[in-house]
Amino acid sequence: MKNGYKKILKALYIITAIPFIFSCSGKEDRPNPNPNGGDGSGTTLSIVNKNATNETKNLLANLWAIQEKGTMFGHQADLMYGRTWINEDGRSDTKDVCGDYPAVFAFDIARVMDGYSLDYDQITAGVLKKCMVEAYDRGMVLMACAHLHNPLTGGTAWDDSSNEVAKEILTEGSATQIKFEGWLDNLADFMKELKGSDGKLIPVIFRPFHEHTQSYSWSWWGYTCTTEAEFIGLWRFTVNYLIKTKSVNNLLFAISPQDSDILCRWPGDDYVDFIGADCYQGTDITAFVSHLKTLQSISQEKKKPCGVTETGIQGFRISDYWTRYILAPLTGRKISMIITWRNAYDPLQHGDEYFSVYKGHISQADFVKYYNSDISYFCNDLPNMYAPISEIAVE
Residue 166 covered by a domain? yes
Distance CA 166, CA 151 (A): 9
Q: How many domains does the chain have?
A: 1
- Answer for the pair 214, 208: CB distance below 8 angstroms, yes or no: no
Q: What is the mean pLDDT of residues 145-151?
A: 97
Intra-chain end-to-end CA distance of the chain, in Å:
39
pLDDT for res 292: 97
pLDDT digits (tens, 9 = 90+) for 264-316: 999 999 999 999 999 999 999 999 999 999 999 999 999 999 999 999 999 99
pLDDT digits (tens, 9 = 90+) for 362-394: 999 999 999 999 999 999 999 999 999 999 999
SS3 131: helix
In this structure, the strands spanning 43-45 and 392-394 are parallel
Distance CA 262, CA 256 (A): 8
CATH number of residue 190's parent domain: 3.20.20.80
Domain housing 209:
4-24+34-394
pLDDT for res 214: 74
Distance CA 284, CA 313 (A): 11
pLDDT for res 213: 86
pLDDT for res 35: 30
What does DSSP assign to residue 245? Answer: I
3-state secondary structure the chain: CCCHHHHHHHHHHHHHHCCCCCECCECCCCCCCCCCCCCCCCEEECCCCCCCCHHHHHHHHHHHHHCCCCEEEEEECCCCECCCCECCCCCCHHHHHHCCCECEEEEECHHHHHCCCCCCCCCCHHHHHHHHHHHHHHCCEEEEECCCCCCCCCCCCCCCCCCCHHHHHCCCCCHHHHHHHHHHHHHHHHHHCCECCCCCECCEEECCCCCCCCCCCCCCCCCCCCCHHHHHHHHHHHHHHHHHHCCCCCEEEEECCECCCCCCCCCCHHHCCEEEEEECCCCCHHHHHHHHHHHHHHHHHHCCCEEEEEECCCCCCCCCHHHHHHHHHHCCCCCCEEEECCECCCCCCCCCCECCCCCCCCCHHHHHHHHCCCCEEEHHHCCCCCCCCCCEEEC
Tally Cβ neighbours within 10 Å of residue 148.
Answer: 21
Residue 29 covered by a domain? no
pLDDT for res 216: 64
Q: Is residue 348 predicted with pLDDT exceeding 70?
A: yes
Q: Is residue 207 predicted with pLDDT exceeding 70?
A: yes
Stated pTM of the model: 0.91
- Answer for the pair 234, 34: CB distance below 8 angstroms, yes or no: no
pLDDT digits (tens, 9 = 90+) for 36-83: 333 334 899 999 999 999 999 999 999 999 999 999 999 999 999 999
pLDDT for res 325: 98
Distance CA 19, CA 29 (A): 14
Q: What is the mean pLDDT of residues 206-221?
A: 86
pLDDT for res 217: 67
SS3 31: coil
